Amino acid sequence: MSPATRSRIPAHLREYVVDQDYDAYDEVDQAVWRFVLLQAYDRLCKTAHPAYVKGLAETGISVERIPSVAEMDRCLAEYGWGAVTVDGFIPPRAFQEFQAIGIMTIAAAIRRRRHLAYTPAPDIIHESAGHAPIVPDAKYRAFLRRFGEIGKRCFSLPEDRVVYEAIRHLSEVKEDRESTPQIIEDAQQRLDEANGQVTRDSEAALLTRLHWWTVEYGLIGTPDDYKIYGAGLLSSLGESTALHGDHVNKIPLTVDCVQTSYDITRPQPQLFVCSDFDQLDAVLEQFAATLAQRVGGDKALQIMLDSGELGTIEFDSGVQVTGQLVEIIEGEQGPAWVRLEGPVTLSLNNQILPGQDTEQHSDGFSTALGLLDDGTNLGECDEDWLLSRANGQNRVQWHWASGVSFSGRVERVQTDESGSLRVITFTDARVNLGDRVLYDPDWGSFDLAVGAGVVSCCAGAADPDYYAPTDFAGHTIPHAKDPTTAREEGQVLHLYQAALQCVREGKDPRKMVEGFARIEDELQSHPDEWLLRWNLLESLRKADVGEELQAKLCAELLEIEKTDYESLPISTGLQFLEMI
């Protein structure tokens, strides 16, 4: 990662960033990459968005080798973006935060041979060859950043977090070769139970669907004449081909796509088609208009309360209160009092105000909202007005139209650039609503966040400095392979290396054929090793030599496919080589 990209990563997101250990990819991993990318490139040249082919090279991606994330980072810098390595799944909000600042997160592990056509777990094929190639398109990358800005502020519900963990677990279990059918069944049951507990769709859940049907699985054009731009399709040999069948319904994209759920572990039965990238913006804006971050008012407060997560209330004065909203007290004309649990900060223009940090409000915060009973909006008043209403001891007594009564001694005033009141600190403060005590002098000084109404509620903190800083993870990806995989691949790894040596020395085609024949003979001790056989065949076809050996390898591959037709993309590989 370049110093420029490193400097743009907020301190609270550093913990998700790891280093790519490029030397950890062996010849089998590189063969996996080539098998997928050679075929994907061949097909997608005709079926993908025009930006795809050019975008691969422009973002540091070759069909011949696994990309270096550092190289991708340098290439993406030309478009104001960057790339960092992450370790598999990261929390959805963290993903959106990276996207909002134009940093692509690349899961650097690579799928195993049995999941070449499609893997439910994030891997470098999906993250790089799927997401990066369309970024050079100016409208699309601007859409991605706007999506991230909106997405990072969407509220989730507690059950969303349970579903996310269940999806993550199932995806990882399906990718783990040690998983038995029972383990996979248990993981699927866990996800089914988690989904069964969902009683309503949260903002975050609906946004995730919009992301899925556009960024991940989007088509562009018309239902009868379309191109692929979604990363999930661009990186899947299986679905990028199967989607053209009549059994996959193509539907014009509208904001109603958020009502259509999806299953990350299975091919999708329908896909949505946008007319152009401008329509993506229009649909995103339609969706955003329904969110707490845009609608404000009572609805936004209730969404934040129900979420139970950290969020920010923004008043019409511009004051932003960050914390966990735990109570809304209704008055005569709507919400009269809000209470948040700590730690809490008060901000203005996304910057924490002096003396209003988490140390000051470590145990929580509460404040009144609304107009005074004479119609006065405190947010439109200045310090002179405030002091003119105070007695000789700087004490004021107010009544809100909501029924809240207040008395306290002015200790400090914080204003905005125009001098309008924003936060007023009182001592000896007492606040009541009817018989209920909302604040007592014994509780210490009272900070009133000035605001008549709520214009926005959003997830997360107004100022990133709210979060405790984290350090970069410090470990590398990909991880060492599990013992079973390492043992099995170790038995054939020398054959992959020998095959590459034959190709490098392939000035004399006869010697390459002889070398490949010796390798094929040794492969008889490894009857299930299909990927190396395909690589031998691909090299022979490219050199147009060894017809007899080609036929033998093709027959062996078809025989292997009979044992596991659903999982092995052998037929697609042979079709690419025009062998069937």
∠ Cα 266 17 311 (to 5°): 80
Note the pLDDT of residue 165: 84
Residue 114 in this model has a pLDDT that exceeds 70: no
| Least-confidence region, from 61-65, 184-188, 228-232, 400-404 | 184-188
Residue 46 in this model has a pLDDT that exceeds 70: yes
Strand partners, 300: none
| Least-confidence region, from 363-367, 425-429, 474-478 | 474-478
Note the pLDDT of residue 485: 66
Note the pLDDT of residue 569: 81
Q: Do residues 423 and 356 make contact, with C-beta atoms less than 8 angstroms apart? A: yes
pLDDT category, 179, cuts 50, 70, 90? confident
Q: How many residues does the chain have?
A: 580
Neighbours of 244 (CB within 10 A): 12
How would you list the strands of the sheet with 225-228, edge to edge? 225-228, 219-222, 270-274, 249-252
Note the pLDDT of residue 122: 76
* Rounded CA separation 395/324 (Å): 31
- The string of pLDDT tens digits covering residues 59-76 is 989 999 999 999 999 999
Question: What phi, psi does 251 have (nearest 5°)?
Answer: -120, 135
Compare 357 and 486 and report the one with higher pLDDT.
Answer: 357
DSSP 113: G
In which element (H, E) is residue 525 found?
A: none
Name the range with the highest mean pLDDT among 182-186, 450-454, 556-560: 450-454
- The string of pLDDT tens digits covering residues 3-13 is 999 999 999 99
Residues whose CB falls within 8 Å of the CB of residue 355, separated by 6 or more in sequence, listed in order: 412, 425
Note the pLDDT of residue 474: 83
Residues whose CB falls within 8 Å of the CB of residue 314, separated by 6 or more in sequence, listed in order: 296, 320, 321, 454, 455, 456, 457, 458, 462
Residue type, 99: Q
Nearest one of 427, 429, 438 to 403, comparing CA atoms: 438
Q: Report, as an integer, the average pLDDT of 249-256.
A: 97
* Rounded CA separation 415/412 (Å): 10
∠ Cα 172 176 181 (to 5°): 100
In which element (H, E) is residue 370 found?
A: none
Note the pLDDT of residue 517: 94
Note the pLDDT of residue 53: 86
| Least-confidence region, from 192-196, 396-400, 551-555 | 192-196
Residue type, 345: T
Q: Do residues 304 and 314 make contact, with C-beta atoms less than 8 angstroms apart? A: no
Note the pLDDT of residue 194: 84
Residue 477 in this model has a pLDDT that exceeds 90: no
Residue 263 in this model has a pLDDT that exceeds 70: yes
> What is the residue-wise DSSP string for 442-491?
GG--EEEE--SSEEEEEES-SSGGGSPP------EESPPPPHHHHHHHHH
* Rounded CA separation 237/114 (Å): 13
Reduced to 3 states, what is the DSSP secondary structure of residue 239? helix
Note the pLDDT of residue 311: 97
Compare 193 and 441 and report the one with higher pLDDT.
Answer: 441
Average pLDDT, rounded, for the chain:
91
Note the pLDDT of residue 487: 67
- The string of pLDDT tens digits covering residues 91-108 is 889 999 999 999 999 998
| Least-confidence region, from 148-152, 241-245, 252-256, 288-292 | 241-245
Q: How far is CA 281 from the centre of its chain?
A: 18
Q: Report, as an integer, the average pLDDT of 316-339.
A: 94
Reduced to 3 states, what is the DSSP secondary structure of residue 283? helix
Q: Report, as an integer, the average pLDDT of 248-277.
A: 92
CA dist list (Å): 526 to 67, 315, 523? 29, 68, 5
Note the pLDDT of residue 412: 96
pLDDT category, 163, cuts 50, 70, 90? confident
DSSP 353: P
Q: Assign residue 241 a region (left: φ > 0; alpha: ψ between -120 and 50; beta: otherwise).
A: alpha
Residue 127 in this model has a pLDDT that exceeds 90: no
Q: Do residues 410 and 381 make contact, with C-beta atoms less than 8 angstroms apart? A: no
Tokens of 571: 């037929």
Q: Do residues 219 and 227 make contact, with C-beta atoms less than 8 angstroms apart? A: yes
* Rounded CA separation 426/413 (Å): 9
- The string of pLDDT tens digits covering residues 453-467 is 999 999 999 999 999
Q: Report, as an integer, the average pLDDT of 278-284.
A: 97
Q: Report, as an integer, the average pLDDT of 227-240.
A: 88
Q: Are strands 476-477 and 17-20 parallel, antiparallel or unpaired?
A: parallel
* Rounded CA separation 483/251 (Å): 45
* Rounded CA separation 40/124 (Å): 14
| Least-confidence region, from 111-120, 188-197, 235-244, 369-378 | 111-120
Neighbours of 253 (CB within 10 A): 23
The percent of residues above 70 in pLDDT, for the chain, comes to 95
Name the range with the highest mean pLDDT among 112-126, 491-505, 547-561: 547-561
Note the pLDDT of residue 166: 85
Residue 177 in this model has a pLDDT that exceeds 70: no
Nearest one of 65, 53, 171 to 118, comparing CA atoms: 171
- The string of pLDDT tens digits covering residues 291-309 is 999 999 999 999 999 999 9
Residue 115 in this model has a pLDDT that exceeds 60: yes
Q: Report, as an integer, the average pLDDT of 495-518.
A: 86
Q: Do residues 518 and 509 make contact, with C-beta atoms less than 8 angstroms apart? A: no
Residue 310 in this model has a pLDDT that exceeds 80: yes
pTM of the model: 0.88
pLDDT category, 374, cuts 50, 70, 90? very high
First vs last C-alpha separation in the chain? 44
Nearest one of 381, 480, 440 to 24, comparing CA atoms: 480
Reduced to 3 states, what is the DSSP secondary structure of residue 219? strand
Q: How far is CA 453 from the centre of its chain?
A: 32
Note the pLDDT of residue 337: 96
Q: Do residues 536 and 499 make contact, with C-beta atoms less than 8 angstroms apart? A: yes
Residue type, 37: L
| Least-confidence region, from 366-380, 494-508, 562-576 | 562-576
